Amino acid sequence: MAKFLDLDLGVVTFSLRLLAALVFASVDIFLLYYVPTHLNTLISEYLPINNSSNIENMIAGLVSPSLPLVGIAVSLVAFFGILFKGSKIYGLILALTGILFSFCTYLFFQGGTMFVHIPSGLIQGISGSVVMDLTILMWLLMLPSLLTIVKGRVLILQAARGRTAASQSKAVSA
């Protein structure tokens, strides 16, 4: 029997949770840290040789430098979220996960207005830029994260109410 905070987990349950947490955190690290930091390497073999550097530079400009760091933070909280599900700090972890995911989405969409610079070497003699207003789509994709924050808050309040009720019943029995 493993005891975490207020959780009493059987070995099998704990092992399964740990495994799930590791898998989920690994997927998060891959998607939110490894892919952004190794984007050029990952796409370079699919790019035409003569234009690869221009395309790589263009795509690199799409990724916010803060995204990998936030990605690591998301992986950490996701890991602990699975591990501590049902505990008294689960609401806090869930809210934190929602906040970090929202921030991740915000960074991914560059605040809703994505700017792509077209370098002059990409298409012969042409340079330029593309500005995409994706604000509505960004909010739509942020909505699950925002609702997760709400859920975290509700769980925090429920845990607080539970603690208050427990202390009141102890006082009454005493």
Residues found near another protein in the complex (CB under 8 A) = 95, 118, 125-134, 136-137, 140-141, 143-144, 146-158
Residue 92 to residue 151: CA distance in whole angstroms: 10
Give the shortest CB-174-to-another protein separation in angstroms: 30
Give the shortest CB-171-to-another protein separation in angstroms: 26
How far are the Cα atoms of 74, 83, 91, 132, 174 from residue 87, in angstroms, in the given order? 19, 9, 8, 42, 26
In the bound state with another protein, the residue whose beta carbon lies nearer, of 18 and 141, is: 141
In the bound state with another protein, the residue whose beta carbon lies nearer, of 9 and 99, is: 99
Give the shortest CB-154-to-another protein separation in angstroms: 6
Give the shortest CB-114-to-another protein separation in angstroms: 10
Is 54 within 8 Å of 100 (Cβ atoms)?
Answer: no
In the bound state with another protein, the residue whose beta carbon lies nearer, of 69 and 122, is: 122
Residues 6 or more apart in contact with residue 31 via CB below 8 angstroms: 71
In the bound state with another protein, the residue whose beta carbon lies nearer, of 15 and 158, is: 158
Is 129 within 8 Å of 116 (Cβ atoms)?
Answer: yes
Is 33 within 8 Å of 64 (Cβ atoms)?
Answer: no
For the record, the structure tokens of 122 come out as 């990409």
In the bound state with another protein, the residue whose beta carbon lies nearer, of 14 and 139, is: 139
Give the shortest CB-116-to-another protein separation in angstroms: 9
- Alpha-carbon dihedral of residues 32, 93, 150, 74, nearest 10 degrees? -10
